[in-house]
């Protein structure tokens, strides 16, 4: 029974050693927890269910009651995503706030778990290890955070001592959201930059200028519409455009710099992302010191079927000494 399997997954998470000061975690994860098509994430007092490719379970009311009893959550919402790409948000219990603050590894993030228009709550659980790695690599250097959404990687970088974070997203609302997240952590947003532009255009300019960043975060969406020169729209598809993106990102990195490249597109595997990085390094004539799989957090187990893995990514370290304290150019 689905309820029993979900509650068993919740019990397993209770024994995991999560980072101190963390109230955002995955409670049940699709096939990895024998809950096909269902993901349950906790954002502090709010539970957010992601239901993929199927209708809401017939036992939804009983499931929500069981989850509230097991977790003490104040509110429960569900995002239903159909196979055709449509989605709808349902409020299943309580009155979820339009915005509330959660915590990860001692940092504070404003999330929108019940926002009809937000693509996600603003803090993707499966990227916790990526944020930890960026935080550890950012000290004293400039960080380029592309497709930055609510700026979670930028918060981690600033907490790690980044000289500056360039937050890039086509949405002005996301720039404001990212600035709020910095401020929530005692960081002056005015010390950083928020570029409301197409990330591909910014990255192309950065690549032409040459190495300027100690860390580049590249976590593009599966697909998007972008305006090409002359005003014509072009469809961005990560499986087609990832190699060029990675090549430009590598061209923007200083010797010893760190690239984090990832995707949640089910048509790509970790091996595909790794091959994109290795191929781009060959094309640019760039030497890599290491290429490592980006690990999933303990509460986000990887399904046996690699197609169902929530996030597929790698980190690549350029050869050379890690960049010392530096400042990127005045314009990206």
| Residue 228 scores a pLDDT above 60 | no
Least confident span in 196-210, 226-240, 270-284: 226-240
Domains in the chain, start-ordered, CATH in brackets?
2-111 (3.30.750.80), 125-318 (3.40.50.150)
Average pLDDT over every residue of 165-171: 96
pLDDT at 206 over 80: yes
Q: Taking residues 87-94, what's their average pLDDT?
A: 90
Under the banding of pLDDT at 50, 70 and 90, the label for residue 330 is: very low
Tens-digit pLDDT profile for residues 115-158? 888 778 999 999 999 999 999 999 999 999 999 999 999 999 99
Closest CA to 294 of 269, 308, 311: 311
Average pLDDT estimate for 47-55: 82
Q: pTM here?
A: 0.92
pLDDT in tens, 57-67: 677 889 999 99
Average of per-residue pLDDT across 304-322: 85
pLDDT, one tens digit per residue, over 238-293 is 888 899 999 999 999 999 999 999 998 888 999 999 999 999 999 999 999 999 99
- The pLDDT score that the predictor gives to residue 322 is 72
**Residue 222's pLDDT band (boundaries 50, 70, 90)?**
confident
pLDDT at 331: 46
């Amino acid at each position: 029974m689905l309820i029993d399997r979900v509650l068993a997954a919740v019990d397993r998470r209770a024994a995991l050693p999560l980072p101190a000061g963390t109230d955002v975690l995955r409670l049940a994860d699709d096939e990895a927890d024998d809950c096909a098509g269902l993901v349950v994430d906790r954002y502090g007092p709010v539970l957010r269910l992601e239901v993929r490719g199927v209708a809401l379970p017939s036992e939804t009311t009983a499931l929500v009651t069981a989850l509230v009893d097991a977790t003490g959550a104040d509110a429960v919402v569900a995002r239903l995503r159909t196979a055709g790409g449509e989605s709808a948000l349902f409020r299943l219990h309580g009155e979820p706030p339009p915005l509330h603050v959660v915590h990860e590894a001692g940092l504070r993030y404003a999330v929108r778990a019940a926002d009809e228009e937000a693509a996600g709550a603003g803090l993707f659980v499966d990227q916790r290890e990526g944020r930890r790695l960026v935080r550890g690599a950012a000290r004293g250097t400039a960080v380029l955070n592309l497709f930055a959404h609510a700026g979670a990687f930028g918060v981690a970088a600033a907490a790690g001592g980044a000289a500056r974070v360039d937050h890039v997203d086509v949405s002005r609302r996301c720039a404001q959201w990212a600035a709020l997240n910095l401020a929530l952590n005692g960081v002056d947003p005015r010390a950083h930059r928020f570029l409301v532009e197409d990330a591909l255009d910014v990255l192309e300019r950065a690549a032409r200028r040459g190495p300027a960043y100690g860390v580049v975060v590249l976590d593009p969406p599966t697909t998007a519409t972008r305006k090409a020169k002359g005003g014509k729209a072009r469809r961005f598809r990560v499986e087609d455009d990832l190699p060029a993106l990675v090549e430009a990102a590598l061209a923007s990195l200083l010797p010893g710099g760190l690239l984090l490249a990832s995707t949640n597109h089910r048509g790509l595997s970790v091996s595909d992302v790794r091959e994109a990085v290795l191929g781009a390094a060959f094309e640019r004539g760039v030497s890599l010191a290491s290429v490592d799989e980006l690990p999933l957090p303990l509460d986000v187990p990887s399904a046996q079927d690699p197609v169902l893995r929530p996030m597929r990514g790698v980190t690549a370290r350029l050869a050379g000494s890690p960049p010392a304290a530096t400042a990127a150019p005045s314009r990206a």
